[in-house]
Amino acid sequence: MKNDYQISSGDIEPQWPLRVMYESGYLHPCAIEGSLYSPRDVAEEEAGISQFDPGVESPTFDRTRQHFREAIRAAVGHFFEKFDLPRRGGLDIGSGATGSMVHNFLDGTVEKHSWTEMDVNPQSVEANAKLHPGARVVTGSYHRLDSLNLHDSLDMVTGLSTLDATQFIPHAIAQIRNALRRGGYLFHLQDVRPGNGAGLRELQAMGEQSPFHCLAFHTDRPQPEFAAFASSDGSVFSTGELFRRQLDRAFVADGGYEVLLNDWVRSGKKIPGKISRTYYLNSDLQHVSAQPAQHEAYMIVTLARKK
Q: What's the confidence (pLDDT) of residue 1?
A: 63
Inter-CA distances, 179 with 165, 174, 298, Å: 20, 9, 30
Phi, psi of 136 (to 5 degrees): -90, 100
Tens of pLDDT along 158-183? 999 999 999 999 999 999 999 999 99
- C-alpha dist (Å) from residue 272 to 269, 286, 295: 10, 14, 10
Cα 15 from Cα 227, distance rounded (Å) = 12
Collect the ranges in the chain with pLDDT lower than 70.
Answer: 1, 56-58, 221-222
Count CB-CB contacts under 10 A for residue 212. Answer: 22
* 3-state helix, strand and coil shares in percent for the chain, rounded to the nearest 5: 35, 30, 35
**Contact (Cβ atoms closer than 8 angstroms) between residue 151 and residue 93:** no
Q: How far apart are CA 52 and CA 63, in angstroms?
A: 18
Answer positive or negative: Cα dihedral of 31, 231, 18, 195. negative
Q: What angle do CA 166, 134, 192 make, to 5 degrees?
A: 30
Contact 227, 198 (CB under 8 A): no
pTM of the model: 0.95
User: What is the model's pLDDT at position 32?
Assistant: 86
Q: Which helix (H) or strand (E) holds 131?
A: helix 122-131
pLDDT of residue 248: 96
Task: Give dist(CA 82, CA 104) in Å, integer.
Answer: 20
C-alpha count within 13 angstroms, C-beta hemisphere, residue 12: 3
Looking at residue 3, its pLDDT comes to 74
Residues 6+ apart with CB under 8 A from 112: 102, 103, 106, 135
Neighbouring C-beta atoms of residue 53, cutoff 10 Å: 11
* Residue 303 φ then ψ, to 5°: -135, 120
Q: If residue 261 lies in a helix (H) or strand (E), which one and from where to where?
A: strand 257-271
Beta-sheet pairing, 283-288 with 275-280: antiparallel
Instruction: Write out pLDDT tens, residues 33-59.
Output: 877 778 889 999 889 888 888 776 667
In angstroms, what CA-CA distances link 125 with 70, 88, 139?
25, 21, 6
Secondary structure element (H or E) that encloses residue 245, with its range: helix 239-254
Q: What DSSP designation does 53 have?
A: -
Q: In degrees rounded to 5, what are phi and psi of residue 193? A: -60, 130
